Chains A and B, each alone.
Chain A
Amino acid sequence: MLRPIPVVMRMLACLAAALALMPAPAAAQTSSLYSNLANPAIGMNALFSGTAARNLDRAYGLHFDEAEISLISVVDPYWTLVSNIVFTQGAVDPEEVWARSTNIPAIQLKLGKIRGTFGKQGLLHTHAFPFVESPIVMVNTIGEEGFKAAGAEAAWLTPLPWYAELTGGVYEPTGPDGDHPLDLGSTRHDNVPFLGHLKNQFDLDDATTLEVGESYLQGRGGDGVRRAALGADVTFRNVPPRNSNRGGWILMGEYIQKGSSAGGSFVREEDGGYASFQYRLSQVWWAGIRGEAARNSVADFMVDGAGAPLAGAVRRGAANIAWMPSEFSFVRLEYSHARANRGVHRDDDRVMVQMSYTIGYHPAHAY
């Protein structure tokens, strides 16, 4: 009597038969089946910093801040995909992953996880920030690194004789969380957070430009209340045409306000602004100063005796100097002094050093 063949043996026999029937691999298989010629442009920026601040319960030393990997490529004749994946200690954030269409005359369409077109500094990547720390008002209103959410934006370059761009966007409900201090997180089906942004830019002379921007962002919070942020920014920038890689300056100011409108009237919550001046001393040296003020806001040193955050009025001044030996790296030294009207530490002094290194493709930075 024949014994039944065990299941495992039958499976092995089938696998052996299948392998025997497979065609032999080509003797000299090339990689042409899997061409890498259309690979995206790849780049990475690594950012490190060290902070010495008496008031912070944080060890001194060099910290790894983030590594941002950028992948950019044309998808097909209709779309270009841009992505910035940010790795921080123990976390990965697909900070930006969006497709751009430039097939529509006068309109640029962006779809995906985007950096919403709100404000001026909020549009910059962390390694392009002019100072080590984000303005306090940004941290308290739209987010330390600007307003980021999945959504769609259309930016219309109007036919006016100067550069006038009108942007409208709609986004998924977000917040409140560390990245989104503005609570637009209502799950009500009529909650579609939206944004409007107007940017005008004028050439004042051969070297100097004036840019004026206004932003408005609105949605419903988790409690169903309408919440909004509004901002205005002004930037003068000078790039001497015969000296574009060795001289110039940027004078920038921005005001942002966050609030809610329960019962029909808008109530201001956190607000504030900053003004900064950056001066290019030579091809490799930049220096900058910034002054800022914020109300009803928190900063990392504003805590009570138990270490809980306290909101109040705060002012901060900062000065820095940066050495940029090439377009692909910099080392920056920054000092800041802040004074708050609440908390166990009314004054805060800190010294920071920041290092940035970029390899591979380096996307051009916005003007």
Chain B
Amino acid sequence: MKSSLKCVSLLLLGLLATSPARADLKVATSLTDLASVAQFVGGKHVTAQSLCRGFEDPHFVPAKPSLMKSIQNADVFVSVGLELDGGWLPLVLPGSRNPRIQPGAKGFVDASEGVTVLEKPIGTVSRAEGDIHPLGNPHYYLDPKALEVVAHHLADAFSNLDPANAADYAANAKAFDEKMDASLEKWQKQLAPYKGTSIVPYHRNFIYFAERFGLKLFTTVEPKPGIPPSPHHIADLADAMKKAGVTVVVYQPYYNADASHEVAKRAGGVAVEVASEVGGVPAATDVFTKFDSVVSTIAGALAGKAGSR
């Protein structure tokens, strides 16, 4: 008996001793944009994956057990924060049974920390206004500058967990800033002719983009957040757009394309599908190509060269 125990102990010790040293941080994120930033900042030391795919509505990700399984061994979890993932993350995170990534642990990162949040409700928060976000608009990942804040936040978090590679993370975050700033200049030039022009998004998720690029949001296709448009609302909105000379409707792959096109058709304008998240359209393979795609699609629609009438 004693010798058996000794054998088992030696075997276990041997297994532990021969386990390969872990070089990578396994990073999981709630959004593809966060995975893209994490991969850039983490470089070769990190493997990043997103639970929500770019063509999925981040408000309504089904809390599949397989998602829990996929983060069972993650070292870091990056939440978009501001309750955008609040409908599914409270199930997925505890369901992973991974103590390293629970809120409060070193491996849990709220990416919204440090970001200047827009549309924070003032006064009473009421669902009479639809399914609003009580902590402010969570779609900050449509502002390139906000992603720079996220990049530095992630560099700090990775350094905290993996101090040996802290210099690499800091350098990568700096490189991210430089690349993003150079790209931003290019995107701003593309949209400069349309400064002050109004567009109509399906959902109120373009406020950060509009603020950064000087566009205006006329209103939204959905009458209130989370409430589908009625035929009456579509008719009223199209009339209002016509009167105001607004011609461009933008929607994401997971929103109701028919309603968006109907509004645009009645208003004599165009509706275009844009990816607000990486992976939303095939061209958006990382945060840089995502903005390339969004900017060129919206600029094309405003110039009357893109979108279906």
Instruction: List residues of chain A with CB under 8 Å of any chain B CB.
Output: 74, 77, 80, 100, 102-108, 155-157, 162-163, 165, 199, 201-203, 209, 211, 237, 239, 241-246, 282-284, 325-328, 359, 363-364, 366-367
Determine if B253 is an interface residue (Cβ-Cβ < 8 Å).
Answer: yes
When the two chains form the complex, which single residue of B65, B96, B254 contacts A367, counting CB atoms closer than 8 Å? B65
Bound Cα distance A102, B108 (Å)? 14
Residues A105 and B65 in contact, CB atoms below 8 Å apart: no
Q: Select the stretch in B19-27, B83-91, B138-146, B298-306 that faces chain A.
A: B83-91
B91 neighbours in A (Cβ, 8 Å): 364, 366-367
Residues A157 and B94 in contact, CB atoms below 8 Å apart: no
Q: Offer 13 A-B interface pairs, CB within 8 angstroms, sorted by A.
A: A102-B94, A102-B102, A104-B97, A107-B97, A163-B69, A202-B66, A203-B66, A209-B66, A241-B53, A242-B56, A325-B227, A364-B63, A364-B89
Bits for B91-104, please: 1 = Cβ < 8 Å to A, else 0.
10011111100111
Instruction: Kindly identify, within residues 48 to 97 of chain B, every residue whose CB is under 8 Å from any CB belonging to chain A.
Output: 53, 55-57, 59-66, 68-69, 72, 86-91, 94-97
Task: Find the residue from B89, B97, B226, B228 having the highest chain A CB count within 10 A.
Answer: B97
Bound Cα distance A241, B60 (Å)? 9
Bound Cα distance A246, B227 (Å)? 12
B226 neighbours in A (Cβ, 8 Å): 326-327
- How many pairs of A and B residues are in contact by the CB < 8 Å rule? 99
B59 neighbours in A (Cβ, 8 Å): 245
A105 neighbours in B (Cβ, 8 Å): 97-99
Residues A284 and B228 in contact, CB atoms below 8 Å apart: yes
Determine if B131 is an interface residue (Cβ-Cβ < 8 Å).
Answer: yes
B69 neighbours in A (Cβ, 8 Å): 157, 162-163
When the two chains form the complex, which single residue of A107, A157, A246, A327 contacts B256, counting CB atoms closer than 8 Å? A246
Residues B97 and A108 in contact, CB atoms below 8 Å apart: yes
Contact (A326, B127) CB under 8 Å given A106-B72, A244-B57: yes
Residues B94 and A108 in contact, CB atoms below 8 Å apart: yes
Contact (A209, B64) CB under 8 Å given A157-B69, A241-B55, A326-B227: yes
Bits for B26-60, please: 1 = Cβ < 8 Å to A, else 0.
00000000000000000000000000010111011
Residues A245 and B57 in contact, CB atoms below 8 Å apart: yes
Bound Cα distance A156, B254 (Å)? 35
A77 neighbours in B (Cβ, 8 Å): 104
B72 neighbours in A (Cβ, 8 Å): 106, 157
Shortest beta-carbon distance from A62 to chain B in Å? 23
B87 neighbours in A (Cβ, 8 Å): 327, 364
Bound Cα distance A282, B59 (Å)? 17
Closest B-chain residue to A109, C-beta based? B97
Contact (A366, B63) CB under 8 Å given A103-B99, A105-B98, A241-B55: yes
Bits for B207-230, please: 1 = Cβ < 8 Å to A, else 0.
000000000000000000011100
When the two chains form the complex, which single residue of B53, B88, B94, B127 contacts A328, counting CB atoms closer than 8 Å? B127
B62 neighbours in A (Cβ, 8 Å): 237, 239, 244, 367
Bound Cα distance A366, B91 (Å)? 7
When the two chains form the complex, which single residue of A103, A163, A246, A284 contacts B68, counting CB atoms closer than 8 Å? A163
Residues A367 and B227 in contact, CB atoms below 8 Å apart: no
The 8 A-B residue pairs with the shortest CB-CB distance in the complex, in nearest-first order = A163-B65, A201-B65, A163-B69, A245-B60, A239-B62, A283-B228, A244-B60, A157-B97
Q: A244-B254, A366-B63 are in contact. List 16 more A-B contacts (CB 8 A).
A: A104-B99, A201-B64, A201-B65, A237-B62, A239-B62, A241-B53, A242-B56, A243-B254, A244-B61, A245-B57, A245-B60, A282-B228, A325-B227, A326-B131, A363-B90, A364-B63
Bound Cα distance A165, B95 (Å)? 10
